[in-house]
Structure 1
Amino acid sequence: MTRPDHDAMTGDLFAGTSGALPRYETLCPGAMLLRGFARPAEAALQAAIDHVARAAPFRHMITPGGYRMSVAMTNCGTYGWVTDRHGYRYDTIDPERGKPWPPMPKVFERLAHDAAEAAGFPGFTPDACLINRYDPGARLSLHQDKDERDYDQPIVSVSLGLPATFLFGGVRRKDRPAQLPLTHGDVVVWGGPSRLRYHGVKRLETGHHPLLGRCRINLTLRRAV
């Protein structure tokens, strides 16, 4: 996997910013951790998240087994990921509001495109963004992202707010996952041979972030259809 020219890739996202550029860490074939990649856009990302949440408030969804998820969720884009007693799926309509999900903010699209390109997946255009809010004590068990139609498209996961431990496993549930500390602005991209790896988040510890307070926000950008 080759990495495109960094200056060309980040021309828009990092325009007018200062400080160290992101650090790239290859996790395995098809997976890369981009340390601090989203920090230059943090203010625009926060404003966009607030805008989406006002239109489609965060909620705790129910799994098909009747389990109330500890992570609060909302969506933006053409498609939103939902779960209820009928199963996991993408839908163009927010079931709580009976309306389409809010449009995806341009800053989300640009960040996802640039991060995917940095990780070796050029031309990525997400049509769905699942926004997860982790309060202290929330966690996400190991799972695969496999409700999408095209597995050739990567997953772009953006961490904001409190630090968390990301679990990145193998293609079998029993494979022991690596434990990766993620901090504000880190982005993980996985696709190709890593696309169906199991992943999750350990229980979030209590803390306070100067921008987001007592929570962690995760943007998971995908191509659903």
Structure 2
Amino acid sequence: MAGGGEKTPANSAQPRKARSPHGSVYGRSSECQKQGACTPSPSFSSKDSRQQLVTPVHPLKSVDSRSSPCSAGSVGSDSGAAPFDICMNCNKGPIIRLNPSLLEINRDKRQNRQLCKDAAPLQYLRPGMVLLKKFIKPNDQVRLCLHLFFFQSQINHVKIVKVCQQLGVGSGGFYRPGYRNGAQLRLWMMCLGKNWDPDSCSYGDKRPFDGAQPPTIPEEFRKYVQDAIQASHELLKQHVGAANAVEELPLMSPDICLLNFYNSSGRLGLHQDKDESRSSLDKGLPVVSFTLGDTTEFLYGDVCDEDKVSKVDLESGDVLIFGGKSRLIFHGVSNMKPKTAPKWLMDETNLRPGRLNLTFRQY
């Protein structure tokens, strides 16, 4: 998932060869298995080990987010750029956007609630890995993106987006990693609790390129994680008959959260999240991942080969949890599905097109 661990190389900007129906966007699986090198961030990788990651000084051109190795160079951001805002400011520019009526917003939310009822509450993907469909409620999705003091007890799309937006434009907020050759990646990253350094694939108290301390994890976010784990335990008992749900998905108290914002071209090569402490990994303490915005195709399996893994769609409001026997699975994102985010979420938050992903773990 986003951040940490070994990651498989991805295709660079070279012409692609014919590929299987699954699609091969990460390069040859044999290379993945042999190299086992980590990539510089939770959302990009590359076969070109010569390409170095740095802190760009001037505005740079874009490059596909599938290119670059963690072992190369140091990582930074556009040092002269303004803080990245995951939400669009509709007051700028000549385009006037008409706000949706309250009737339209409420109608969209009713439709979303009905979809939540129709969706299976739990998808048991494999031992130690579950997917809670539409677990994050509409209002929470918005507020998670905007402002801290708007929190309520339930998990809410709107709240998550608003909180992430406020944190992301402050010190230690979202930054865009770049290359020594002058290209930038199509993703923005922010860490809470501890900083994950894509260069060393390790955690620290400050970002190396600017010395910024990562913001703390909001207490409400921690509660959301606990609620999701508890819900997964209840559903495991009811739907799978798990004799010991806690053994299958251990309890954990998150002290790290990695946030990635992907545009429509974002990709994530197959990798393992294994940069946490040995104690955390040995106990199988789970990774808890929230998806907000556009739907993404998620890959997972026991081998670092995109042709031999399973896949599942992660939609806005879904919570994916993997721990226990599945803690060190290979996983990644094969593609984004543009314009699939709920309309009401985009209207209420002005979230940019793409996917906001929060992954929680205990160091």
Structures share fold, TM-score greater than 0.5:
yes
Letter in 1 for 2:160: L
Write the deviation string for residues 21-43 of structure 1: whole angstroms up to 9, x where unpaired. Answer: 67111100000000011224112
Q: Of the candidates 139, 144, 148, which is equivalent to residue 276 of structure 2?
A: 148
Give the corresponding residue for 1:33.
131
Give the corresponding residue for 1:113.
226
User: Pairwise mapping of residues 122-141 of structure 1 onto structure 2 (< 5 A)?
Assistant: 123-141=251-269
Mapped pair 1:162 → 2:312: no
User: Pairwise mapping of residues 39-118 of structure 1 onto structure 2 (< 5 A)?
Assistant: 39=137, 40-55=155-170, 56-61=172-177, 69-77=185-193, 79-84=194-199, 87-118=200-231
Contact 2:250 2:323 in 1 (8 A): no
Larger proportion of strand:
1
Q: Report the secondary structure of 1:196's partner residue.
A: coil
Aligned-partner Cα distance in 1 for 2:356–2:300: 18
Larger proportion of helix:
2
Give the corresponding residue for 2:353.
214
The alpha-carbon distance between structure 1 residues 97 and 88, as it changes in their structure 2 partners (threshold 3 A), is same
Range with bigger deviation, 142-151 or 21-30:
21-30
Seq. identity, %: 31
Which runs of 5 or more residues in structure 1 are unaligned? 1-17
Letter in 1 for 2:202: R
CA drift at 1:59: 2.1
For this pair of structures, how many residues does the alignment match? 201
Q: Report the secondary structure of 2:337's partner residue.
A: coil
CA drift at 1:101: 0.6
Q: Of the candidates 174, 177, 186, which is equivalent to residue 305 of structure 2?
A: 174
CA drift at 1:62: 6.0
Aligned-partner Cα distance in 2 for 1:198–1:173: 6
CA drift at 1:118: 2.6
Write the deviation string for residues 85-117 of structure 1: whole angstroms up to 9, x where unpaired. Answer: xx2111111234413211111222111112122
CA drift at 1:208: 6.1
TM-score (norm 2): 0.51
Aligned-partner Cα distance in 2 for 1:153–1:69: 30
Give the corresponding residue for 2:362.
223
Contact 2:259 2:356 in 1 (8 A): yes
Range with bigger deviation, 155-164 or 212-221:
212-221
The alpha-carbon distance between structure 1 residues 185 and 50, as it changes in their structure 2 partners (threshold 3 A), is same
Calculate the aligned-residue CA RMSD, in Å. 2.4
CA drift at 1:69: 4.8
The alpha-carbon distance between structure 1 residues 100 and 37, as it changes in their structure 2 partners (threshold 3 A), is same
Considering only CA atoms, is the larger Rg found in Structure 1 or Structure 2? Answer: 2
Aligned-partner Cα distance in 1 for 2:176–2:334: 18
Letter in 1 for 2:312: L
Give the corresponding residue for 2:102.
none
Which runs of 5 or more residues in structure 2 are unaligned? 1-112, 138-154, 234-248, 346-350
Aligned-partner Cα distance in 1 for 2:127–2:271: 19
Runs of at least 4 residues of structure 1 off by over 4 A? 18-22
